[in-house]
Amino acid sequence: MSDVDHERDLSTADKLRKRTEVNESLFWVLLTVNRWALVAVLAACVFTAFVLFGVFKPVLLRSMMETSDMVETVFSGLVGAIITSTTLVVSINQLVLSQEIGSLGTQRERMDTTMDFYQNTDELFGTTTPADPPTFLEKLLETSTERATALREAVAGNENETLRSKVDEYVEDLHENAETATEELDDADFGDFTVVSPALDFNYAQKMHDIRHLGEQHEEDLSKEERTAFREMLEAVTMFGPVREYIKVLYMQWALVKLSRAILYASIPALVVSGGMVVFVDPTTFPGTLFGLETMLWVVSAAFAVAVTPFLVFASYVLRLATLAKQTLTVGPLVLS
């Protein structure tokens, strides 16, 4: 056992974003911000970039359209890409449905496994396990804090001052972390990221490692009652792992369904606008200027931003799901961040 591990500070940050090396602002964009708001910002960036390209190009866009079919070619390609994106929606739905389709025996096995786990949590809570995911997580956090308090009381009479100090530090950190996560769960609804985010913020993996390490390090100083308190504390934080993963998987399936629907919603106006630009727009359609720039530049820039919206929707959802998957690669006392 190294001296570094022996003296390690048991306190950890209450937020996942503070425990990673990712910039906090970038982390907020990747996980927290509303996906449609992110799509709107990305579309505005695309629109602005197109306008700036037109401003700094020495040749007017209308003049280019008179001598080439560049704009028509671009939007013709987008029409095909948008139609092709519907196959992506089918693939996403197949991915979700593949998790649900199975024989009667398979469904029975899933039910039996679920009920076995619920019996374990019933014993842990001393009452019926809540059916609502946010309430389920809150009950787990409440049970963890109660057992942490019981652990501190159990070792209060231990003669080893270092053990008492380390347990106090562990309990205080767990209480603070659990309180932060519980506050975030207030008024949370399943289907929103507000349910998954608090589950990520509670650093159960580190707490599993710390309580196991403390128990092993001071095993010779522990009485039978104190060993029981350590074991019950480990049981509570260990139970948080599979529950968090289960809720995370359900959320990801929910998000994939929302993604497929969002792509379809965005594809309809994108297809109409792209087709309209190909069929009805020519160099004489939008004459004149607006705010000092040719009107055609504004129209083409806006049309392109609308046309790429399905891709922006896909990108915004995948950024969150990929980040979520990266931050939850393991189950158990293996800390990657």
**Per-residue pLDDT reduced to its tens digit, 303-335:** 999 999 999 999 999 999 998 888 777 766 666
Question: For the segment 181-204, what is each residue's pLDDT rounded down to a tens digit?
Answer: 898 888 777 777 888 888 888 888
In a domain, 121, yes or no: no
CA 304 vs. chain centroid, Å, equals 29
Residue 2: pLDDT band (50, 70, 90) is: very low
Is the backbone of residue 113 left (phi > 0), alpha (psi -120 to 50) or beta?
Answer: alpha
In a domain, 185, yes or no: yes
In a domain, 137, yes or no: yes
User: How many other CB atoms are found less than 10 A from the CB of residue 301?
Assistant: 21
In a domain, 115, yes or no: no
In a domain, 116, yes or no: no
- Across the chain, mean pLDDT equals 85
DSSP codes of every residue in 41-54: HHHHHHHHHHHHHH
pLDDT of residue 5: 44
Number of domains in the chain: 1
Region 213-228: what's the mean pLDDT? 88
Please determine, for residue 149, whether its predicted confidence score (pLDDT) is greater than 90. Answer: yes
Please determine, for residue 3, whether its predicted confidence score (pLDDT) is greater than 70. Answer: no
pLDDT of residue 1: 41
Domain hosting residue 14, numbered range: 3-101+132-327
Best mean pLDDT range from 7-16, 86-95, 138-147: 138-147
42: tokens are 């990305």
DSSP reduced 3-state for 294: strand
Spatial CB neighbours of 82, under 8 Å, sequence gap ≥ 6: 267, 270, 271, 274, 307, 310
In a domain, 332, yes or no: no
Place of tokens 């503070």: 18
pLDDT of residue 7: 54
Query: Is the alpha carbon torsion for 266, 269, 275, 276 positive or negative?
Result: negative
pLDDT of residue 304: 95
Question: For the segment 83-137, what is each residue's pLDDT rounded down to a tens digit?
Answer: 888 777 777 777 777 766 767 777 788 888 888 888 988 988 888 888 888 889 9
Cα–Cα distance between 173 and 89 in angstroms, integer? 44
Q: With contact defined as beta carbons under 8 Å apart, do 138 and 185 qualify? A: yes
Cα–Cα distance between 196 and 184 in angstroms, integer? 10
Question: For the segment 250-295, what is each residue's pLDDT rounded down to a tens digit?
Answer: 888 888 888 888 998 999 999 999 999 998 888 888 788 788 788 8
pLDDT of residue 9: 63
Best mean pLDDT range from 33-47, 54-68, 89-103, 172-186: 33-47
pLDDT of residue 327: 79
Of 332, 326, 186, 196, the closest CA to residue 253 belongs to 196
In a domain, 123, yes or no: no
In a domain, 118, yes or no: no
Specify the pTM. Answer: 0.82
pLDDT of residue 273: 94
Cα–Cα distance between 87 and 90 in angstroms, integer? 5
pLDDT of residue 4: 41
